[in-house]
């Protein structure tokens, strides 16, 4: 039996994957613009019944403003917060499936790049002070920040159910309540930073991404305001 002199598949060109319009539009719907988040917060606060729900609403706002993963936010302890400097230190990730366990399971974040210090704005400081005050008033003796009204860490399932219910009530145009999850706020934060014109590398460092591709997939979801800004700049071109 003789040997082939060349690989018979060497000249085969694999078809390049092309994203369909439907897939692109679906991705576009999986983040909230600043205006949409503002509407969502107004709707949630209007429908808020008690401090239990208030605690969840403020956590959602904090996620939107920081881009933290839900496990990173739940793992935050007061020793990781420096209010005077407007800095939080993300060092751990919480196994949120174990929040009912007596011993909370903390692990290192997904990658070494996820261990980071980030600046937070004044609104985030206000949210942290609110939690600090409420936790003290209720005599919650815990090193963790984001506790529910019973003094335990928020359970992911409870957060998700409440979030989807509130999304149904809010009826934000072109947003499917089934697409709402805590990770939606992380994608929204990255899109917000992209809209502000921050470099990809800066965004990667802030949200703890190791792979540039992960950031770019969200970065390239051009928001409506960016499209409008592009149109304005194009209209300024005079030949």
What is the C-alpha separation between 203 and 210, in angstroms, rounded?
A: 11
In terms of Cβ atoms closer than 10 Å to its own Cβ (0-12, 13-18, 19+), residue 58 is: buried
Residue 12's pLDDT is 57
pLDDT of residue 212: 78
CA distance 139 to 228: 50
H/E segment holding residue 186: helix 182-195
Please pick, among 104, 175, 189, 209, the residue that the annotation labels catalytic. 209
Average the pLDDT over each of 6-10, 83-87, 160-164, 186-190 and give the range with the smallest value.
Answer: 6-10
Catalytic residue, candidates 26, 183, 201, 210: 183
| Mean pLDDT value across the chain | 84
Task: State the distance between the two ends of the chain, measured CA to CA, in whole angstroms.
Answer: 69
pLDDT at 235 (0 to 100): 80
What is the Cβ-side half-sphere exposure of residue 98, based on CA atoms within 13 angstroms?
12
Beta carbons of 63 and 31 less than 8 angstroms apart: no
User: Is 123 in the active site?
Assistant: no
Mean pLDDT of 149-167: 94
89 assigned to active site: no
233 is catalytic: no
> Taking 70 as the threshold, does the pLDDT of residue 10 lie above it?
no
Distance (Å, whole) CA 94 – CA 141:
18
Distance CA 95, CA 101 (A): 10
CA distance 66 to 207: 8
- pTM assigned to the model: 0.81
Q: Which of 92, 96, 131, 219 is catalytic?
A: 219
Note the CATH number of domain 21-236. 1.10.443.10
> What is the percentage of the chain residues whose pLDDT exceeds 90?
59
- pLDDT score for 194: 85
Does the annotation count 209 as an active-site position? yes
pLDDT at residue 224 in the model: 54
Catalytic residue among 69, 175, 187, 221: 69
Active site residue 219: yes
- How far apart CA 234 and CA 228 sit, in angstroms, is 10
- The number of angstroms, rounded, from the C-alpha of 112 to the middle of its chain's C-alpha atoms is 19
Q: Do the Cβ atoms of 207 and 215 come closer than 8 Å?
A: yes
pLDDT at 5 over 70: no
Q: Which pLDDT band holds residue 159 (cuts at 50, 70, 90)?
A: very high
- Between vectors from CA 123 to CA 82 and to CA 143, what angle results, nearest 5°? 40
Is residue 55 among the annotated active site residues?
no
Q: What was the pLDDT predicted at 22? A: 45
Which listed residue (100, 102, 150, 238) is catalytic? 102
Name the catalytic one among 91, 104, 175, 186. Answer: 186
Q: What is the pLDDT of residue 18?
A: 45
Average confidence (pLDDT) over 65-85: 96
């Amino acid at each position: 039996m003789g040997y082939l002199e060349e690989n018979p598949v060497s000249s085969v060109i694999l078809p390049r994957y092309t994203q369909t319009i439907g897939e692109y539009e679906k991705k576009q719907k999986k983040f909230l613009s600043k205006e949409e988040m503002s509407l969502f917060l107004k709707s949630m606060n209007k429908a808020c019944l008690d401090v239990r729900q208030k605690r969840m609403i403020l956590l959602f706002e904090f996620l939107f403003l920081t881009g933290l993963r839900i496990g990173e936010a739940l793992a935050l302890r007061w020793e990781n917060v420096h209010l005077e400097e407007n800095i939080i230190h993300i060092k751990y990730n919480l196994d949120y499936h174990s929040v009912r366990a007596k011993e909370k399971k903390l692990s290192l974040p997904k990658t070494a790049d996820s261990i980071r210090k980030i600046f937070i704005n004044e609104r985030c400081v206000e949210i942290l002070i609110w939690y600090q005050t409420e936790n003290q008033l209720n005599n919650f003796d815990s090193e963790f920040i984001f506790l529910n009204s019973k003094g335990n860490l928020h359970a992911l399932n409870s957060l998700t159910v409440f979030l989807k219910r509130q999304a149904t009530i809010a009826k934000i145009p072109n947003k499917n309540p089934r697409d709402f999850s805590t990770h939606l706020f992380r994608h929204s934060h990255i899109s917000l930073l992209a809209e502000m014109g921050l470099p990809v590398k800066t965004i990667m460092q802030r949200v703890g991404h190791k792979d540039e591709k992960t950031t770019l997939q969200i970065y390239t979801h051009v928001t409506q305001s960016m499209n409008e800004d592009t149109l304005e700049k194009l209209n300024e071109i005079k030949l």
